[in-house]
Copies of this chain bind each other. A is one copy, B any other.
Amino acid sequence: MRVSFDELKNEIKRVFMKYGLSEEKAETCARIHTESTYDGIYSHGSNRVPRFADYLQKGWVDPKAEPTLEKDMGAIRIYNGNMGPGVLNALFGADRAMELADQYGIGLVGLKNTTHWMRGGTYGKYVAEKGYVAIMWTNTEACMPPWGGKDCRLGNNPFVMACPGPDGGSPVLMDMAMSQYAYGKLQVTRLAGKKLPFPGGYDKDGNLTDDPGAIEDSMRILPIGYWKGSAFAFMLDILGSVLSDGVGAVDMNAAAKGSCGGCSQVMIVIDPKKTTTAEAMSETVKRAVEYIKSAEPSEHSGGVRAPGEGIEKFHKDHDENGIYVDDSVWAEICAL
């Protein structure tokens, strides 16, 4: 299915208003879902609309809640998200973190008791397009075994870094979960009757496997870099809690309010005009990109890409042909 930006946004907005969001809030949330879809991040754009509606219906997300200030100390602010829509809370947090960065050079916003922010890259991109550097993450409910264990006790805790692009171009953007593959990727690969490009977890007998179905059955998805990603996910969980005065995976699992229900987010935003000049930053990024691209392409690759660079391919396609939405997802949204 191909739809225009406004067609998709308005249909999502209609659904969100039906489930209790004010027109203004529904407009913002629908725009973010549509932008993620336009950027090719279907999993956290159009595909997440039914789940968000479901959470609103179950009362896991409070459509009327607003973030409230809990601590205000120097370059740090802690807000309680009050289980409001994660997208709105995170945009609010990113705005406050930029204000702190304006004042102090660096600012940290801790956002506790919030809900799923959808695509983490949204907020990195948001601040980087305004000229700021971002280091952000969220903790999540447990969905991945820690290294050395069989049972899910770690979140996949997406971690975001963003930097303004050279010459005012698109930001350099990394948005990565700590699991090698998302469950969505396992499902898509299994339905296509394919294997994963690299082992993505253990089967029930503890063998590393590239069979997506075997990993879905065992629920033993692999952290990036084995023990390394396991340690990283753990640090993001506890520092998410500590720096927002919020909770981590253990309490999210106990509360059982869906994916990221009650999660803790950290947004560190830096004004690079305080550390360098716009010209030097642009030059640094441009030369680093040229440098990695000067590597000879490996055997089966299309060459080296800078983080965030894949986006243009989707923009071109979506501009020419309309935004892609999976047929069944579109039908589901329209039926809500």
A interface with B by C-beta (< 8 Å)? 71, 73-76, 78, 103-108, 110, 133, 135, 142, 145-154, 161, 163, 172, 174, 176, 180, 198, 202, 205-206, 208, 220, 224-226, 228-229, 231-232, 234-239, 241-245, 247-250, 268, 270, 272, 274-276, 280-281, 284-285, 287-288, 291-292, 294-307
CB distance from A269 to the nearest CB of B (A): 11
What are 25 A-to-B residue pairs whose CB atoms are below 8 Å? A74-B106, A76-B104, A105-B108, A106-B106, A106-B107, A133-B242, A135-B239, A135-B268, A149-B303, A150-B296, A151-B296, A153-B304, A172-B235, A174-B232, A176-B231, A198-B208, A202-B298, A234-B288, A234-B306, A242-B285, A243-B270, A243-B275, A245-B276, A248-B287, A250-B287
Contacting residue for A75 out of B105, B224, B237, CB 8 A: B105
Q: A236 contacts which chain B residues (CB < 8 A)?
A: 161
Which of A133, A274, A285 lies at the interface centre, i.e. has the most chain B CB atoms within 10 A of its CB?
A274
Q: What copy number does this chain have within its complex? A: 2
For the residues of A in contact with B, the DSSP-based class is mixed
Q: Is the CB of A75 within 8 A of B78?
A: no
Q: Which residues of B contact A73 (CB under 8 A)?
A: 105, 274
